[in-house]
Amino acid sequence: MTIYLPIAELPVNIFTLLALGIAVGFISGMFGVGGGFLMTPLLIFLGVAPAVAVASVSTHMAASSFSGTLNYLRRKLVDVQLGLVLLAGGLTGTLTGVLTFMLLRRFGQLDLFIAISYIVLLGTIGTLMVIESLRVLLRNWRGEPTRVRRPGAHPWFLRMPFKMRFRQSRIYVSIIPVIVIGFSIGFLGAVMGIGGGFLLVPALIYLLRVPTLTSVATSLMLTLVTMAAAIVMHAVLNQTVDAVLGLVLMVGGTIGAQFGARAGQAMKAENLRLLLGLLVLGVGLRVAIDQIRQPTDLYAVTLDEANR
Amino acid sequence: MRRAAALVLSGLAAWGLLALAPAHAQPAAPERQDLVLSLSKPRVTITSSFSGDSIVLFGVAPDDADGAAPPDVVVTVRGPNASFVTWRKARRFGLWTNVESRSFLAAPSYLAVLSNRPPAEMADADTLRQEQAGFTNNHLLQRVGPDYADVVTGDPFRQAFLRVKQAQGLYFERTAAVEFIAPHVFRTVIPIPGIAPIGTYDVQVKLFQNGERLASGMLPLEVAKIDFEQSVATAAQDHSLLYGLATMLGALAVGFVANLMFRRD
């Protein structure tokens, strides 16, 4: 059964879209990531214009992250205070990112820049996560006791001035690194067109030492706020939000996210990290292969945005 | 008030011209080159179940007694113009990247060239190029540095552009798609894919005989969204802030409902 998308201006199979929403929603609920880094390329593959794909995916991410956030809020796992401090840095980062985006676009090598950022960022983070969680798993398998986190054994950047106590996350750290993390996520999100959840979760876990589930919950809340703002911004500035596309995706996505969140809570934290690491690494490799392999057609045609 | 007066005046002027026209018109050559054209429907309407359509074009060639063989027919359908960039990729430091580009200005967003036999067999290359008859003979204006020009048909960027557009399902070349159902009556099917751009299309029909153009005719074909599709598109354009806020609230509502439905306590 096909359905015509009024803004994307093309017909798609409604069941393909639903399945896509459920699959990505499951992953986003499980790992607390927005899922944009998976959903956007898949929609472009279906024939949706990149601008419409990016804008419409934000509606899907808003819905599924809201549903997930409510779950974690009820379980009192969201660190609202940490989320707000991150957001302060994040909004500044987004603005800087949008300006950089325009600058890169003028030089005509935006695509290459995005691809290289994906490869470097996803490759590094994915590899680090996989190695770390494998080490923990190996230790557990050998029956060695897990090292208990000692309070006070903080790296230098957490000992900077302006310390703040985040009770939910059980950390007492300087807000400078927190704001820097928020800024970086916002910046990369705007430049690379992603929500940034898959970057934020590991950053919170490894850099700020926030418990895994609290990291996931807080990251979801941040995604919710960013995406809600992104919907309105895209709708006003670009008029590329396809409500019909978004609705089908979010119906599938919210259902998937519910099951994903439950699967995530039932799983051991190190297994969860290993899986997310493999996923991130996989997407990074995929982008790398696309860039290295010779394309079937050496020519590509794009709409000329400047001469419309 | 002033505008109304101006309208009336211009209306009067037009009437005047019309009234004068017959007096100045020279007695034209006998109008034998009447080409009668008709589309199965003049408007393709896009509803939520739209996934493409086929429009049938009927035509009656002018009854030209001295021409024994039926004429050749080239039907060219062009969608609304848009600007495109064709990129060439090359390997740089092990990565395939866009290295060179050409801008195609005002190229048709949809193009179908349908004929009863390959246009190259109908007339000489110059005539066909001049008449824009045949898939590769359509003018594709490029910007090369400061100049605006079309290039030779063998240009790799031009060939790539046509090839990529064909692969996308927006350009069609069918050299046996026009059939004669009576000595002077022909028909052809214009394929409108689901991804067809919105707007007014030009259906241009050119008849060739003995290597020369015999007659030509033009019909508009409209591709438009209606009903729900149209209202969503209009809302997104004219009330973008409201549309954005409504979409955001809708997203939150879906998330909330899903959460309630799957809540287990």
Q: What pLDDT does A264 receive?
A: 81
Q: What pLDDT does B190 receive?
A: 92
Residue B114's alpha-carbon distances to A177, B7, B54, B111, in angstroms, are: 65, 43, 13, 10
Of residues A301 and B207, more confidence is placed in: B207
Task: Average the pLDDT over B235-262 and give the result.
Answer: 87
Closest residue on chain A to B47 (Cα)? A4
Task: Please determine, for residue B20, whether its predicted confidence score (pLDDT) is greater than 70.
Answer: no
For residue B11, name the pLDDT band (cuts at 50, 70, 90): very low
Q: What pLDDT does A305 receive?
A: 60
Q: For residue B243, what are its two tokens?
A: 């549309």
Q: Does A295 touch chain B (CB under 8 A)?
A: yes
Is B98 in contact with A108 (Cβ distance < 8 A)? yes
Task: Please determine, for residue B169, whether its predicted confidence score (pLDDT) is greater than 70.
Answer: yes
Smallest Cα–Cα separation from A50: which of A226, A193, A187, A196? Answer: A193
Query: What is the percent of chain B where pLDDT is above 90?
Result: 18
Q: Which of A16-20, A32-36, B46-50, B199-203 has the lowest mean pLDDT?
A: A32-36
To the nearest whole Å, the CA of A141 is away from the closest chain B CA by 34
Task: Please determine, for residue B241, whether its predicted confidence score (pLDDT) is greater than 90.
Answer: no
Task: Average the pLDDT over B218-247 and give the result.
Answer: 86
pLDDT, one tens digit for every residue, chain A (308 residues):
888 888 888 888 899 999 998 998 888 778 767 677 788 878 888 888 777 887 888 888 888 888 878 888 888 888 888 889 998 888 888 778 777 776 776 665 666 777 788 788 888 888 988 898 888 888 888 877 665 554 455 677 776 777 778 777 777 788 888 889 989 888 887 776 676 777 888 788 878 888 888 888 888 888 888 888 888 877 877 778 888 898 999 888 888 877 887 888 788 877 887 888 888 888 888 888 877 887 778 888 877 765 44
For residue B58, name the pLDDT band (cuts at 50, 70, 90): very high
What structural domains does chain B harbor? 37-248 (2.60.40.1930)
To the nearest whole Å, the CA of A301 is away from the closest chain B CA by 4
Choose from A10, A67, A250 for mutation: most chain B CBs within 10 A. Answer: A67
Q: What pLDDT does A106 receive?
A: 62
Task: Average the pLDDT over B68-77 and give the result.
Answer: 85
**Residues across chain A:** 308
For residue B221, name the pLDDT band (cuts at 50, 70, 90): very high
Q: What pLDDT does B65 receive?
A: 52
User: Which residue of A62, A241, A302 is in closest CB contact with B85?
Assistant: A302
Q: What pLDDT does B16 receive?
A: 43
To the nearest whole Å, the CA of A63 is away from the closest chain B CA by 4
Q: What pLDDT does B134 receive?
A: 85
Q: What pLDDT does B77 receive?
A: 93
Task: Please determine, for residue B247, whether its predicted confidence score (pLDDT) is greater than 70.
Answer: yes
Render pLDDT for B74-117 as a digit per residue (tens, 0 to 9).
999 999 988 888 888 888 887 788 888 888 888 899 999 999 98
Smallest Cα–Cα separation from B57: which of B118, B114, B128, B122? Answer: B114
Is A4 in contact with B51 (Cβ distance < 8 A)? yes
Task: Please determine, for residue B17, whether its predicted confidence score (pLDDT) is greater than 60.
Answer: no
Q: What pLDDT does B8 receive?
A: 44
Which of A40-49, A127-136, B186-195, B205-214 has the largest mean confidence? B186-195
Task: Average the pLDDT over B197-213 and give the result.
Answer: 89
To the nearest whole Å, the CA of A87 is away from the closest chain B CA by 19
How many beta carbons lie within 10 A of that of residue A140, not counting itself? 13
Q: Does A63 touch chain B (CB under 8 A)?
A: yes
User: Which residue of B82, B89, B248 is in closest CB contact with A295?
Assistant: B89
How many whole angstroms separate alpha carbon A152 and alpha carbon A134?
Answer: 26
Q: For residue A227, what are its two tokens?
A: 């995406």
Is B254 in contact with A247 (Cβ distance < 8 A)? yes
How many beta carbons lie within 10 A of that of residue A75, not counting itself? 12
Is A66 in contact with B256 (Cβ distance < 8 A)? yes
Q: What are phi and psi of A66, to 5 degrees?
A: -65, -45
Q: What are the chain B neighbours of A47 within 8 Å (beta carbons)?
A: 195
Dihedral angle over CA of A148, A153, A155, A160, nearest 10: 130
Is A235 in contact with B50 (Cβ distance < 8 A)? no
Residue A175's alpha-carbon distances to A97, A184, A267, A273, B95, in angstroms, are: 21, 14, 31, 25, 40
